[in-house]
Amino acid sequence: MKLLFAASEALPLAKTGGLADVAGALPGALAALGVDVRVVLPAYRGTLEKLVDPVRLGELEVRGQRFTVWSGCLPGSKLVHWLIDYPWLYARDGDPYHDPQHRPWNDNAWRYGCFSEAVARLAMGEASGGWKPDVVHCHDWQTGLVPAWLRLRDPAPRCLFTIHNLAYGGLFPRAQFTALGLPPGWWSLDGLEFHGQMSMLKAGLVFSDAITTVSPTYAQEIRTPAFGCGFEGLLEHLSPRLSGILNGIDEQFWNPASDPHLVQTYNAGNFRVGKLANRRAIQQELGLAPDDDAVIVGMVGRLTDQKGFDLVLAALPELLKLPIQLAVLGSGDKLLEGALAREALQAPGRIGLKLGFDEGLAHRIEAGADLFLMPSRFEPCGLNQMYSQRYGTVPVVHRTGGLADTVVDATPRTLKNGTATGVVFEDPDAGGVAWAVTRGVELVRDPKAALSLIHAGMSRDFGWQTAARQYLALYAAS
Ligand code: ADP
Ligand code: GLC
């Protein structure tokens, strides 16, 4: 089985969110099952330098531009990565999608439209050194046009499209559709048109042989108006080829027993000492009071409406009555950044905040916190609640998407049979958050309950093997 795995971000080359974690780990798990994988990404600034001795595979002509295709491996890995190099479009400051002020690049339709066309050409064996995939696995709107372009070829590889987040529809004005040279007939209800705009995500849905999303619950939710972002009718129609495959986590990279970002590593046998050292370290790092009795509530994430940081802000008066400290790391929406910064100034020693992207601190918060709060309004999968369980940190999550699929709520029954791993709450509002954190504090302050939750969480298997086998079955069937 030959697989071309196309994504707009993948660790350790580029990351803004969980897609990078997935694209950085799943290909390796597939290779371990014998799949011959090539991972393809745009060559963002600094990425080519991360490959060991990259070789020039060839050149592709895309919309009058000459793209260079580089091939190489990451240090210590045999997995082949291909980079589509065209510095004018991809090698910029900022993150893959935004300028340094966090404004979306105004040519994103062109950047990812061209990237997708380049991937489709590679998939047909152009500039690929003779290698041709059986299947192309695409992720999110940035690769949505790959299955569309391949639909025009015969024979073409099969396409699987994974939705990581339906809230990003890849919506652009019709002029961009024309500029990308897409067939005029695709400007229709059956094609790429979506309420008067082009949707690159819709292209991925309509033209793929199979569609997955990253948890079974989200696969159901997106067929309803509350979660479907306007695509619910289409997804209902396409439901025979839609399924949910729960993400795994990279158990090497997120392992408290060997994590180089921690001040002290630990495992299920000695977590008390390990967590104490890591608690003290994040209190110091984030300017929290050096209080061994406070319950530390961690939060890490993109500051967007999805993640519910505003609900935490609204619940703060109630939350600060509890014996807690908040350890928050995030970046994104400037209004949310400002509001969080103001609250942190108002509550010195109680709210520790770092605005920005900091991989090491994300690991240290997972290790140092007692509770990890994820009040997401929706969450296709979510990774931090799984990292938390592995790090002996009790997740407190809204019952939605992958959060519902990965955290077992602490009830008298689940606590008794040792399966409980966290707190799962129903209402994504300030009252729901305050209730859930209060419940979390009670649980971690009850030594018997805390031990049971931590042990159950730390012993769960969240590795990629299960998901990799499910994807492999789909590649073979699609
Ligand atoms: P999403 O993909 O919606 O952002 P996930 O929970 O799937 O949500 O994945 C988010 C990933 O990004 C996690 O690995 C998380 O630790 C990381 N992350 C998010 N924000 C930051 C940040 N400011 N600094 C470091 N890591 C972050
Ligand atoms: C998305 C989702 C998140 C998911 C991640 C990886 O960004 O918001 O829930 O875990 O993709 O699949």
Report how far ligand 1's centroid is from the alpha carbon of 192 (Å).
30
- Return the CATH number at 313: 3.40.50.2000
Q: What is the dihedral of CA 308, 311, 313, 315, to 10 degrees?
A: -150
Report how far ligand 1's centroid is from the alpha carbon of 276 (Å).
24
Domain membership flag for residue 34: yes
29 pLDDT higher than 70: yes
The 3-state secondary structure of the chain reads CEEEEECCCECCCECCCHHHHHHHHHHHHHHHCCCEEEEEEECCCCCHHHCEEEEEEEEEEECCEEEEEEEEECCCCCCEEEEEECHHHHCCCCCCCECCCCCECCCHHHHHHHHHHHHHHHHCCCCCCCCCCCEEEEECHHHCHHHHHHHCCCCCCEEEEEECCCCCCCEECHHHHHHCCCCHHHCCCCCCEECCEEEHHHHHHHHCCEEEECCHHHHHHCCCCCCCCCCHHHHHHCHHHEEECCCCCCCCCCCCCCCCCCCCCCCCCCHHHHHHHHHHHHHHHCCECCCCCCEEEEEEEEECHHHCHHHHHHHHHHHCCCCEEEEEEEEECHHHHHHHHHHHHHCCECEEEEECCCHHHHHHHHHHCCEEEECCCCCCCCCHHHHHHHCCCEEEEECCHHHHHHCCECCHHHHHCCCCCEEEECCCCHHHHHHHHHHHHHHHHCHHHHHHHHHHHHCCCCCCHHHHHHHHHHHHHC
Find the domain containing 40 and state its range.
2-248+464-477
Residue 397: half-sphere exposure toward Cβ, Cα within 13 Å: 28
Same domain, 325 and 233: no
Question: Region 138-146: what's the mean pLDDT?
Answer: 98
Domain membership flag for residue 7: yes
Same domain, 433 and 321: yes
Report how far ligand 2's centroid is from the alpha carbon of 20 (Å).
9
Domain membership flag for residue 257: no
Task: Give 478's pLDDT tier (boundaries 50, 70, 90).
Answer: low
Ligand 1 proximity of 395 Cβ (cutoff 6 Å)? no
User: Which of 11, 139, 162, 165 has most ligand 2 atoms within 8 Å of CB, for mutation?
Assistant: 165
Residues in contact with ligand 2 by the CB-under-6-Å rule are 17-19, 22, 164-165, 214, 247, 379-383, 402
102 pLDDT higher than 90: no
* pLDDT (tens digit per residue) in 381-400: 999 999 999 999 999 999 99
Ligand 2, atom 10, residue with closest C-alpha: 382
Ligand 1 proximity of 456 Cβ (cutoff 6 Å)? no
Same domain, 118 and 143: yes
Task: Give 279's pLDDT tier (boundaries 50, 70, 90).
Answer: very high
User: Which of 16, 97, 215, 247 has most ligand 2 atoms within 8 Å of CB, for mutation?
Assistant: 247
Which atom, in ligand 1's list, is nearest to the CA of 16?
12
Same domain, 387 and 291: yes
Same domain, 219 and 282: no
Same domain, 31 and 75: yes
Report how far ligand 1's centroid is from the alpha carbon of 25 (Å).
15
Ligand 1 proximity of 380 Cβ (cutoff 6 Å)? no
Tally of domains within the chain: 2
Domain membership flag for residue 263: no
Same domain, 314 and 239: no
Report how far ligand 1's centroid is from the alpha carbon of 23 (Å).
13
Ligand 1 proximity of 376 Cβ (cutoff 6 Å)? no
Report how far ligand 1's centroid is from the alpha carbon of 321 (Å).
28
Which atom, in ligand 2's list, is nearest to the CA of 379?
9
* pLDDT (tens digit per residue) in 289-331: 999 999 999 999 999 999 999 999 999 999 999 999 999 999 9
Domain membership flag for residue 45: yes
Question: Region 186-207: what's the mean pLDDT?
Answer: 98
Domain membership flag for residue 219: yes
Report how far ligand 2's centroid is from the alpha carbon of 217 (Å).
13
The sign of the CA dihedral 155, 157, 158, 162 is negative
- Residue 477 CA to residue 199 CA, distance in Å, equals 27
Q: Which residue has the tokens 């408290």?
A: 256
Same domain, 280 and 381: yes
Between residues 337 and 100, the one the model is more confident about: 337
Ligand 2, atom 5, residue with closest C-alpha: 18
What is the separation of C-alpha 288 from the centre of its chain, rounded to a whole number of angstroms? 28
231 pLDDT higher than 90: yes
Which atom, in ligand 2's list, is nearest to the CA of 383?
10
Average pLDDT value for the chain:
97
Ligand 1, atom 9, residue with closest C-alpha: 18
Ligand nearest to the CA of 215: 2
Report how far ligand 1's centroid is from the alpha carbon of 100 (Å).
18
User: Which of 11, 19, 21 has most ligand 2 atoms within 8 Å of CB, for mutation?
Assistant: 19
Same domain, 153 and 210: yes
Which atom, in ligand 2's list, is nearest to the CA of 17?
7
Domain membership flag for residue 59: yes
Ligand nearest to the CA of 402: 2
Ligand nearest to the CA of 379: 2
Assigned token pair, 279? 């608690």
Ligand 1 proximity of 247 Cβ (cutoff 6 Å)? no
Domain membership flag for residue 422: yes
Ligand 1 proximity of 382 Cβ (cutoff 6 Å)? yes
Assigned token pair, 79? 């997995």
Residue 101 has what pLDDT? Answer: 84
Report how far ligand 2's centroid is from the alpha carbon of 378 (Å).
10
Residue 37 has what pLDDT? Answer: 98
Report how far ligand 2's centroid is from the alpha carbon of 379 (Å).
7
Same domain, 287 and 343: yes
Neighbours of 459 (CB within 10 A): 12
Same domain, 296 and 425: yes
Same domain, 111 and 159: yes
* pLDDT (tens digit per residue) in 68-77: 999 999 999 9
Ligand 1 proximity of 392 Cβ (cutoff 6 Å)? no
* pLDDT (tens digit per residue) in 236-267: 999 999 999 999 999 999 999 999 999 999 99
Which atom, in ligand 1's list, is nearest to the CA of 306?
3
Task: Give 455's pLDDT tier (boundaries 50, 70, 90).
Answer: very high
Report how far ligand 2's centroid is from the alpha carbon of 215 (Å).
10
